Amino acid sequence: MNAVPSTARSTADLRPDVLPPQALNLSATERATGQFSPGNCELAAAILACRGYVILRDALEPDFAAALAREMDDIYQDCRTTHAVETGTSPDAAFKTQLSNRRNATFWYRKSRWRIFPRLEGAMGDPRLLANPFVVPILDRLLGDTFRCRYVSSDTCLAGAILQSPHSDIDGDEVYVNGTWKPRGFVVNVPVMECGLHNGPLEVWPGGSHLWDSNFLKPLGLVPNVQDGRNPPVERLAEYFPSVKVVLKPGEILIRDLAMWHRGTPNPTDQPRTMLTIGMFRADHEYGYGSPFYNLDETLYERLDPRIRRMFAYHFTSLKRARRGLGRLKRKLLGSSQTE
């Protein structure tokens, strides 16, 4: 017999599938001082580690969130004016980039999705964005305080974009090292507008998919590496797992494990939906997508706040600078106009 009479059960008891809290609230003191309380920081890191993503509410001041939105809109309009060719979806398409006329943003456009790499100046180079006082302590904790930023980009989704296949943004080869989970990187998503259920939200498969490595998945016939195309085995399996369409408001920040299964969904509105997508990695993890070149040159790098510069220092070592100088000289001598 059931111990609790059914009449005594609340609606919540009858609906165990009601979503748990999505965002972690920062207290007024934390926001005013720009400092995480140790307990909240630990909790945020644990949510990210176990669930695969964490959302920080009010991590950006409204004025700054609005400045970011204006800046991104200007960059997007510049890319639209410049746009010439749509790249395909082949693996090497990620390297076919264009440069916007006025803002020098590197970008590509395919399948109604723009990927834009803004130059890190103005609001885009502001420490409140890239060295956010609530994001950095979590990354320090999980990736080590030598973590690196490998790209700053936008995910801009337009009407016409397809429902993607669930995918991981990283291979499943070294999820564990000597039997211990070792996160390789996280994406920091910063919405520059409301990214809600109405305009193509990011859909995520939380609570485990970021821990499924290739040794586990491959024998099951699962390779979650298709984005803008079909991947029947992965799509079929994902239907049997709860997913969440993430709602993000300006001022909030989402941090997600690169390995967590996720996908872009269609945007039925006539307005582009943009969130910034920033790749932060453990120092010893190479990643072949995006490049600090798209965001920075020597001058911009020198102008960065030291809290941000440390995330890009690996790209501006004397050796790397000397190699690039040599490359430039070679190209000049050979008369090539090709850039780095």
Ligand X SMILES: O=C(O)CCC(=O)C(=O)O
Number of Cβ within a 10 Å radius of residue 287 = 17
Work out how close the CB of 277 gets to ligand X at its nearest, in angstroms, rounded to a whole number: 7
Least distance in Å: CB of 127 to ligand X? 25
Q: How far is CA 114 from CA 79, 162, 236, 254, 293, in A?
A: 9, 13, 27, 20, 18
Residue keyed to tokens 């020597």: 298
- Interface residues with ligand X (CB under 6 A)? 113, 155, 157, 164, 202, 227, 262-264
Shortest distance, position 147 Cβ to ligand X, whole Å: 21
Shortest reach from residue 269's CB to ligand X, in Å: 14
Angle at 197 between CA 192 and CA 200, to 5 degrees: 65
Asked if 251 contacts 243 with a C-beta cutoff of 8 angstroms, the reply is no
Amino acid in the structure at residue 123: A
Residue 183 or residue 290: which is nearer to ligand X going by CB? 290
Nearer to ligand X, 41 or 152 (CB): 152
Give how far Cα 150 sits from Cα of 34, 85, 204, 288, 296, Å. Answer: 25, 25, 22, 9, 11
List Cα–Cα distances, 117 to 64, 79, 175, 292, in angstroms: 19, 10, 27, 9
Q: Which is nearer to ligand X, 117 or 301 (CB)?
A: 117
CA dist., res. 197 & res. 57, Å (int) = 17
Q: Are 122 and 64 in contact (CB under 8 A)?
A: no
**Minimum CB separation from ligand X for residue 136, in Å?**
23
Q: Give the nearest distance from C-beta 34 to ligand X in angstroms.
A: 28
26/112 with CB nearer ligand X: 112
Closer CB to ligand X, 202 or 278, in the complex: 202
Cβ proximity to ligand X, 113 vs 148, nearer residue: 113
